[in-house]
Amino acid sequence: MELKNLLVGQSGGPTAVINSSLYGVAAEARLYPEKIGTCYGMVNGIEGFLKGRVLDFEQALPGEELKGLLTTPGAYLGSCRYKLPEDPDDPVYSRLFEKFEEMGIGYFLYIGGNDSMDTVSKLSRYGRKTGSSIVVLGEPKTIDNDLVLTDHTPGFGSAARYVASTVREIAVDAGVYDTRSVTIVEIMGRHAGWLTAASVLARKFTGDNPLLVYLPEVPFDKEAFLEKIEECFSVNNAVVVCVSEGIRDKDGVFVCEYDSEAGLDSFGHKMLAGCGKYLERLVRGRLGVKARSVELNVSQRCSVSMLSAADRQEAVMAGRYGVQAALNKETGKMISFIRESDAPYSLVCGLEDVDRICNKEKTVPLTWITGEGTDLSEDFLKYVKPLVKGNVQIPADEDGLPLFVYR
């Protein structure tokens, strides 16, 4: 019987562990030489594949070199934000499956977030419609932690750890002067505030910063916000506030739009940034105190300096499980995480119908948001703490700088 080849791609925004999932896929594929021929990688996702851009992992990262993916940030294969057409009769689908057939692809795994799961859904539905035997599976990835039907997503734990660690450092810096000040930290999260919520891990004691946390799940009121800051000054002269980039008012208007028009990305999502700067000016103008804003930006998604060992281990596990599922002819599914217990923390992988996942968003439960929309509950802390555990030693070069693998 002719061996079928495996193809894996990466899509959307990178994370600190998206390459760990890639390692899991490629390493697991090597364990089945009697079932899998060549393990190929899409360069720049679906978009690059359509241009004929692929690599062979045995040539690109032979032997032990593959392990370099485990401590390399970004997306080793390169990424894209390519939206497949809604019309299944669009010629792009036949082109893709013709290319799959030409390369002898029997298994296709796509690592990504919500929009990538939309791609997996469309390809698997086209495959079913045309009677293709090609297996199509989704490997979860997103720092936003907003994929439904999974306990959490690879990438969230490391990003959460980075956010909490950075906010703790910012809070220490903000408190060096005995004068009133407000520091606003803007954190990624368009509709789901999971990453901003993780900033509460920065606290070392009751009453520690961040004193206020604002998520997009709760309507933002700027007058109530200013009142809360005034109240916080009775606790601490240096107030640190963490806000999601996607906070919006009761009318659904993004706070960042108070200042300027937000652009759209290729999927039609508003590209949000700037609410921190707006709030900085609001605080300075209305309260007359020193104010500054800090936008964590891409560092929160790509940094391996605060890589969570638990997150990396689970990302590898998801990658390996995906290959096993592919060999079992599962298709149109996404690998999911099923939490078995909090203490001791344990979880297993599962499979969910990708059609039930794509284009849906998991938000922070309102029951976990306290303090009139400015704090998080113990239930959230119980949920998030296991995900940020464990240190990872990052290899360094002769200058002491991190050593990564490159294409």
CB atoms within 10 A of CB 76: 25
Angstrom distance (rounded) from CA 164 to CA 356: 32
Assess contact for 404 and 73: CB atoms under 8 A. yes
Structure tokens at 234: 């009775």
Dihedral sign computed on CA atoms, order 68, 70, 71, 72: positive
Strand 333-342 with 345-353, pairing: antiparallel
Secondary structure class of 250 (helix, strand, coil): coil
Query: How far, in Å, are 75, 146, 359 from residue 131 at the CA level?
Result: 32, 32, 25
Exactly one of 56, 87, 90, 144 is catalytic; which is it?
Answer: 144
Could you tell me which residues are beta bridge partners of residue 402? 396
Angstrom distance (rounded) from CA 335 to CA 19: 16
Establish whether 397 is a catalytic residue: no
Query: How far, in Å, are 39, 84, 97, 129, 331 from residue 102 at the CA level?
Result: 15, 21, 9, 19, 20
Q: Give the E-state strand segments of 15-115 in sequence order.
A: 36-42, 54-56, 105-112
Angstrom distance (rounded) from CA 317 to CA 349: 8
Angstrom distance (rounded) from CA 127 to CA 104: 15
Dihedral sign computed on CA atoms, order 94, 95, 100, 103: positive
Q: What angle do CA 100, 325, 336 make, to 5 degrees?
A: 110
Catalytic site residues? 144
